[in-house]
Structure 1
Amino acid sequence: MEDSTNLLTLLLNACGPGSDENKVQAICQTEQVKHCDEMWTDNAGVRFAARQLPGTTAIAVKVGPIAEEYQTCFGSEPILVAGDEKGHYTRSVTDALIAARGVVGAPAQVALLINFTSDPSAILAIPTENTHGFEVMLPRAINARTKALVAYLLPRGQRS
């Protein structure tokens, strides 16, 4: 648990979404290289990981669009994407993320992003203005998303 806390602290203190992501990428690569034979990045990582790695759930951690059509708004509440133009994501994972977010103190924004495509079991996103340009988000939104993900990953009895 201490290793996880140290890693989360490193990630929270590094520059990240909306700025220079090289520090976050370097931290992730340092941790991941310990557990794999080779590593690279591309735009089809979830599909590859789902076929090659053990496990049954892939949660994408992304920036999420703020748009009236999606009923999402700028703030610290994470956006839980329930599906996209290809269909709905895994309902049990989305429901568990919603429940975990409630445990840590605030509801999530649940959205169906009809003009969007991805391939995970669920997406947990930071509400972001300009998702493909100069990204603007609240720093506390990054922390809120992290808390929601950690609450989801912890066994139910350890959630607070």
Structure 2
Amino acid sequence: MSKTFTLSEAQTLIPVLESLVHRARSAAIRASTLDTQMQELSQRIFLSGGLHVDVPKAARRRAEREKAMQEARDTVEEIEEIGASIADLDEGRLELPAMAEGRIVLLCWTMGDAEIVQWRESEEGSPLRRMGDGPFGPSGRERERPN
């Protein structure tokens, strides 16, 4: 993580990030739905011993799935280029690195929230904390400027 944000900088990115997360989730759901349909078709073909297959339709479905998967990958890449990372695409949760009290922490935003309301230490598995705690509490609010 080379880029860090202040809380206010991260807050201003929320509308853009929300749009990107929505696009990535929609594409991932489309890809998953098409994948499930293709697996069901393969299972029916196998169980029937060679059911007549509409090959052009199956090929279109496969192409649609690939397109949706690529859209999801491209959108995730766009999110990462901004400096955020996806913590959980199903929940629509992102993390943005911030400098607080001389260390990197992660500002956590979940799709549907109007603003960032949680943060956590950068160590894997650290618990989520409310923005009023620690360096983002009344006495420690954004004393340091990021790079």
Q: TM-score of the superposition, structure 1-length normalised?
A: 0.22
Max radius of gyration: which structure? 2
Structure with more helix by fraction? 2
